[in-house]
Structure 1
């Protein structure tokens, strides 16, 4: 079995025999897979009238457990955006009826962002469709291969995810 990366690596080996292009064997495939996944995510989320960033915020709230509420600060740390960006995102989600702002009982000046029933239904449906697609992608791998691939990717990714 051959893929696009095989041709890319062969061409670089011919044109630049002085370089070790072996990292391309893995990382070009990871990059191409990420682009395919991004396109699929956008398509799945669009079917549920969601942008990827909307799904990310709603999913973070949904994963937090009942009553599905978090502070804006917690949301921005989880989604890796600035305070101003998160404020705009919460505003848009509130306008669409997917979240509500509530006073924070532990901080009179603070607010909590709570997932509405509509927000929960939308994120749950989008997640179910996304997982069906992702399962179809991984169907070519057996359980042991999936576990091994996940472990290898974790080994590469974990140091990158560590806070600076």
Structure 2
């Protein structure tokens, strides 16, 4: 493997602060740089398709919600990993574009349902096809075995970060105590 910018940064740190272990940059520096490249690639594709990454996330969650293509705002927030406040802005923009509609729950007026429209369905189907084809292109230099190994290692890294951040093993079921 050839030396890259992360190797150069690590070498520079070893000169100026040789007593600290900067080896985690081998993983996190490359992960960050890869993410930035990835985000640039998908953002430009989404812009060409007439959406954005946040818009795609909401439309994709609704598309997967068969058969009604409807989720509550809370369910959407959970699936898209944003706050309900952040979700409100996304949904409002999509509604203005005619891609989703919102309506209150008949039994509980506090609950908002978001539903994909026919225009939203057309856009997300076209965007999903292009997006996943693009992702295949972006990983084309990896063999199937390398891609599977990387997927496994990223899942392990996610577990490691989750455990380090919360002190809880993310694979363990949540315990609820009734007191």
| 1:97-121 CA distance string (max 9 Å, x none) | 100124435x342332111121122
Q: TM-score, normalised by structure 2?
A: 0.81
Cα deviations by residue, 1:134-156 (Å, 9 ceiling, x for unpaired): 21221111111111110010011
- Greater mean alpha carbon deviation, residues 77-86 or residues 17-26: 77-86
Between the aligned partners of 1:37 and 1:161, the Cα distance in structure 2 is: 22
Matched, 1:57 2:58: yes
Q: What residue number does 1:25 align with? A: 26
Q: Give the alignment's Cα RMSD to 1 decimal.
A: 2.0
Deviations 1:27-59 (A, max 9, x none): 100000010111111101101111221111111
Is 2:42 the counterpart of 1:38?
Answer: no
Counterpart residue number, 2:157: 156
- 1:9 is the counterpart of 2:10: yes
Q: Secondary structure at the match of 1:100?
A: strand
- Which TM-score applies when normalising by structure 1? 0.88
User: Larger relative contact order (C-alpha < 8 A, sep ≥ 6)?
Assistant: 1
Q: Give the Cα separation in 2 of the matches to 1:104 and 1:33.
A: 42
Structure 1 unaligned residues grouped into runs of 5+: none
Q: Report which stretch shifted further, 22-31 or 84-93.
A: 84-93
Aligned residue runs from structure 1 range 68-87, under 5 A: 68-87=69-88
Are the structure 2 counterparts of residues 90 and 40 from structure 1 closer, same or farther at C-alpha, using a change threshold of 3 Å? same
State the shift of 1:123 in Å.
1.6
- How many pairs are equivalent? 163
Paired position in structure 1 for 2:146: 145
